[in-house]
């Protein structure tokens, strides 16, 4: 039987606060806007009290206690700002700095680093402790993530996000004492591990020990090459996040300003991945209908999220036939740029340098997959730049996105949309498919295009839909550990679903590994994922067309070039296949 939690009243820094039993002192303090500093803490993910920055003094209790794991008790008197506490925390920071690579001016996390923030806050005047730095383990074997132990503070946030949220466990703490580090089993590189490149470790690292693999140098060279036609496509989620890098509120939609900024930095054409998303729905929904008719390889699972594809190839290769064979929106648009657009404009595809502005670090590995290469062994997309990388490039070029007037995408691959906006949030792919599946089946139009039952941030969402008079159960998961629950049901034959959407990152692409990094304390006060998702739903609501099959550019591409969805040309250009990936193998 459910028992209502007892309410506990305590005092923190002379202020009374009442919270349910089981609440920690840290949570109680945050309720009344007292910011007890933390480094290692992540709610429900890394609640270990290791860093000791959250220490508090409790009247009548011996020694200082870690507030992130200490439960409240009736009548507790807590202090967070005594001289002894401040001196202790200053010493902790000095010890952390003694073995931390202090190249702050050249670190991409400079000015957005929790350790740096705390050193300013506690006014670390000089380094009292100096030790011989352990030999750095710099691992840049992955196309997605670079790991540098010289900057690691052993907070274990990355380890537990990878293990608990993603169920991947590619990294763990190794060795002891001064030689302890976060690394990969058998001292192998990230590329050969179970890592899927999602970058969740990066956005949860409080320092610069984990960063995205930078492709900025190659892009600079391409933009300076007068012989190259440099084209960029922008993912749905980026328009709702890149403004944060320029001081705009979380959840600010900056589509037109983003296009204007990209034009100023030198791109020849700017196209919208939303169109690729609408093409994905045309192919994926048609593929789903065909599988329903033949009752084969059900449930079908979406294939837009590249980290999820790698996860399936490494952990569930026996289920690869359940994945949709449709390419991701990025790859579909990249393919159209170097086929449809190149032919239309009379351009040699080899003269096009195709860039994708993505919220995702895993996309950096996707573009080099052999099975995605086009005729002549050329990549459909030549370079992936994350939201953070592009923001740095714009600032370097003296372009203030926030101050620009709105501009439009270029024709013919960016002037219209259907349901592509909502691909950036969990449930969006499924909702877009549901808007078009009945039309693609028998020409019936869905009147209410907002499928609220698939929205929200619940780990696994379920719904029942009716297709051709028959009910089908569908599911949406976010975070790979949740995907495993659904995949294990398929393996043991108990899955009740016909169609499943998997998003690698919690919240979907709005929370991708390449997105702006929000400090843990700030994130605890506001719903970051919710605000970003709200911006995309706002863009969708304002769109002239809200169904993928209504996108006039999509209609023209099919009539002029592709033919019919899932037809011969479509399969040659817009579909792919997947292969089992081995991990932890000697090369």
Hey, which residues are catalytic here? 284, 287, 304, 324, 363, 366, 371, 509
Q: How far apart are CA 372 and CA 335, in angstroms?
A: 9
**Torsion angles phi and psi, residue 113, rounded to 5:** -130, 125
Torsion 15-16-22-27 (CA) sign: negative
Give the tokens for residue 126: 């000089």
The residue among 365, 367, 306 whose CA lies nearest residue 337 is 367
Q: How far apart are CA 492 and CA 471, in angstroms?
A: 22
Give the tokens for residue 338: 């170097």
Whether 254 contacts 242, CB under 8 Å? yes
Q: How far apart are CA 111 and CA 89, in angstroms?
A: 21
For helices 216-224 and 387-396, give the axis angle rounded to 10 degrees: 50
Beta strands in 13-143 (DSSP E): 15-20, 55-58, 65-66, 77-79, 138-139
Whether 502 contacts 300, CB under 8 Å? no
Whether 357 contacts 394, CB under 8 Å? no
Q: How far apart are CA 339 and CA 327, in angstroms?
A: 15
Whether 414 contacts 438, CB under 8 Å? no
Whether 352 contacts 231, CB under 8 Å? yes
Whether 374 contacts 234, CB under 8 Å? no
The residue among 143, 139, 135, 134 whose CA lies nearest residue 185 is 139
Cβ-proximal residues to 96 (8 Å cutoff; 6+ apart), any chain: 115, 153
| Element at 482 (helix H, strand E) | helix 480-491
Q: How far apart are CA 119 and CA 98, in angstroms?
A: 13
DSSP letter (8 states) at residue 575: B
Q: How far apart are CA 482 and CA 459, in angstroms?
A: 7
């Amino acid at each position: 039987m459910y028992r209502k939690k007892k309410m506990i009243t305590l005092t923190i820094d002379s202020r009374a606060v009442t919270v349910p039993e089981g609440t920690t002192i840290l949570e109680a303090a945050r309720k009344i806007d007292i910011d007890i500093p933390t480094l290692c803490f992540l709610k429900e993910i890394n609640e270990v009290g290791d860093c000791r920055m959250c220490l508090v003094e409790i009247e009548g209790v011996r020694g200082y206690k870690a507030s992130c794991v200490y439960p409240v008790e009736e009548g507790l008197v807590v202090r967070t700002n005594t001289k002894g506490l401040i001196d202790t925390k200053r010493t902790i920071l000095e010890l952390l700095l003694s073995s931390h690579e202090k190249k702050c001016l050249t670190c991409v996390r400079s000015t957005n680093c929790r350790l740096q923030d705390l050193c300013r806050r506690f006014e670390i005047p000089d380094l009292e402790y100096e030790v011989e730095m352990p030999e750095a383990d710099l691992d840049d074997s992955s196309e997605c993530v670079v790991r540098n132990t010289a900057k690691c503070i052993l907070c274990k946030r990355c380890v537990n996000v990878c293990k608990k949220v993603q169920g991947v466990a590619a990294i763990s703490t190794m060795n002891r004492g001064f030689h302890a580090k976060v690394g990969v089993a058998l001292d192998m590189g990230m590329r050969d591990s179970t890592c899927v490149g999602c970058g969740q470790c990066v956005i949860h690292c409080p320092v610069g020990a984990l960063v995205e693999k930078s492709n900025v140098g190659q892009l600079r060279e391409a933009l300076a090459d007068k012989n190259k036609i440099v084209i960029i496509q922008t993912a749905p989620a980026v328009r709702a996040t890149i403004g944060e890098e320029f001081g705009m509120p979380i959840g600010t939609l900056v589509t037109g300003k983003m296009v204007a900024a990209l034009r100023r930095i030198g791109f020849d054409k700017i196209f919208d991945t939303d169109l690729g998303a609408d093409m994905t729905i045309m192919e994926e929904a048609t593929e789903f209908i065909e599988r329903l008719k033949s009752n084969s390889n059900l449930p079908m699972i979406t294939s837009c999220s590249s980290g999820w594809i790698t996860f399936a190839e490494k952990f569930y290769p026996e289920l690869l036939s359940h994945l949709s064979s449709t390419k991701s929106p990025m790859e579909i648009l990249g393919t159209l740029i170097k086929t449809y657009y190149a032919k239309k404009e009379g351009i040699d595809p080899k003269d096009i340098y195709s860039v994708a502005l993505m919220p995702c670090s895993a996309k950096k590995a996707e573009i080099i997959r052999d099975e995605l290469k086009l005729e002549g062994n050329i990549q459909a997309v030549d370079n992936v730049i994350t939201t953070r990388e592009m923001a740095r490039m714009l600032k370097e070029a003296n372009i203030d996105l926030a101050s620009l007037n709105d501009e439009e995408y270029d024709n013919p691959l960016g002037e219209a949309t259907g349901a592509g906006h909502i691909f950036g949030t969990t449930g969006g792919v499924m909702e877009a498919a549901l808007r078009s599946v009945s039309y693609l089946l028998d020409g019936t139009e869905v009147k209410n295009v907002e499928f609220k039952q698939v929205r929200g941030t619940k780990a696994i969402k379920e719904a029942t839909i009716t297709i051709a008079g028959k009910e089908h159960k569908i599911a949406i998961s976010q975070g790979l550990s949740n995907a495993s629950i659904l995949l294990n049901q398929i393996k043991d034959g108990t899955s009740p679903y016909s169609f499943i959407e998997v998003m690698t990152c919690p919240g979907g692409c709005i929370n991708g590994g390449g997105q702006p990094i929000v400090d843990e304390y700030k994130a605890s006060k506001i719903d970051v994922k919710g605000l970003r998702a709200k911006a995309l739903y706002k863009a969708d609501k304002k769109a002239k067309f809200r169904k993928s099959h209504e996108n006039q550019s999509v209609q023209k591409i099919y009539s002029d070039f592709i033919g019919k969805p899932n037809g011969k040309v479509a399969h040659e250009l817009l579909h792919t296949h997947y292969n089992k990936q081995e991990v932890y193998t000697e090369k």
